[in-house]
Amino acid sequence: MKYTSCIHLEHGITFFSNSVQICCISSHQGGGSIVEIQDYRGELIDWDLFFEKRNQLRENTRNGIPPKKCMGCYYLKEQDWNTENYIDEVLIGHFTHCNCNCIYCYTEADKKFFNANKTYNIYPVIKDMIDKKILSKNATITFGGGEPTILQEFEELVYLLLDYDVYNIRIHSDGIKYSPAIEKGLKLGKITLITSVDSSSEEIYKQVKQVPCFDKVWENLSKYANAKNGLIRTKYVLIPGVNDSLKEVKNWLQKTYESGIRHIAFDIEDNWFKARRENIPQYIYVIFDFVTECYKQYNIDSCELYERAYNLKVDRENKLNSVSQ
């Protein structure tokens, strides 16, 4: 049956430090963050109850009553949805500890609180999903964080997913710690590695990341790039007033190419974007247009837009359409 929904509403699950949610999308009018399990600390999930609740949500959505928190989300699409009970979209973001200290990280709001968070072991939960065939082999598994490579169970968990033959594993890593599991997954062509370098110079890197690891990260990225079959993206989170120089952006594209990487990702700092969404300065559009239209000049094959950058694109298209009408 054709109706308006999204992959997260239909088949998604997101693990946070103290809850299980549908997704992590939050830049739209409704604000997202639909919590399915409160006060969660890594317990095995009652999947019968889980899917009973999900089916009720799906039924409401099918009848034209989607969750209010999904209002205005650009990820909603009208199409024929598979209503079988399985998980096809997983975000693993239950940890906040990191070996980096990015100034735009959500943990900056309360470092003391997030640093005190105890991290549960997600491995038994994912293994239970595999054993019960709840996790689709076609699933997209995304590691957020925190820094996944410093998780105690990270290597074992990635090997578990590779052995299950999941072929779309997305790992957001700062690139400071080299991972044999990531290297293996890249060689098998089952892993996409995304590393936010946010700079092309040691000075800007230190300003954004607050750790002296610029050379180490680019060295590790070059090593990963030798694993030919996987996909690696260097990511640039644009932070107005910090790394919003067109020269820095151009040099990032050049450095990406020189490191043997042919894919990029682009986004805008979350709090700044949400506060100024209706009044974006023109120079931000200039940088955005350069990245999205000129990346091929640097022999880069693809550019992926993350949530804020994607919303910027759609917002502008909608405004232009309304003016033309």
Residue 116 binned pLDDT confidence (cut-offs 50, 70, 90): low
CA 194, 196, 201, 205 torsion-angle sign = negative
Q: Would you state the pLDDT for residue 25?
A: 82
pLDDT higher than 70, residue 257: yes
Per-residue pLDDT at 96:
85
Report pLDDT for 325.
62
253: pLDDT strictly greater than 70: yes
Mean predicted lDDT score pLDDT of the chain: 92
* pLDDT surpassing 80 at residue 185: yes
pLDDT tens across 129-138, in order? 999 999 999 9
- What is the biggest distance separating any 2 CA atoms in the chain, rounded to whole angstroms? 56
The predicted-structure confidence for 47-73, as pLDDT tens digits, reads as follows 999 999 999 988 998 888 888 888 888
Going along the chain from its start, the domains and CATH numbers come out as 2-235+259-265 (3.20.20)
Q: What is the pTM of this model?
A: 0.90
CB 108 within 8 A of CB 31: no
- Hey, which bits of the chain come out as E strands? 2-5, 12-15, 20-21, 35-37, 77-80, 87-92, 135-143, 168-172, 191-196, 231-238, 263-268, 302-305
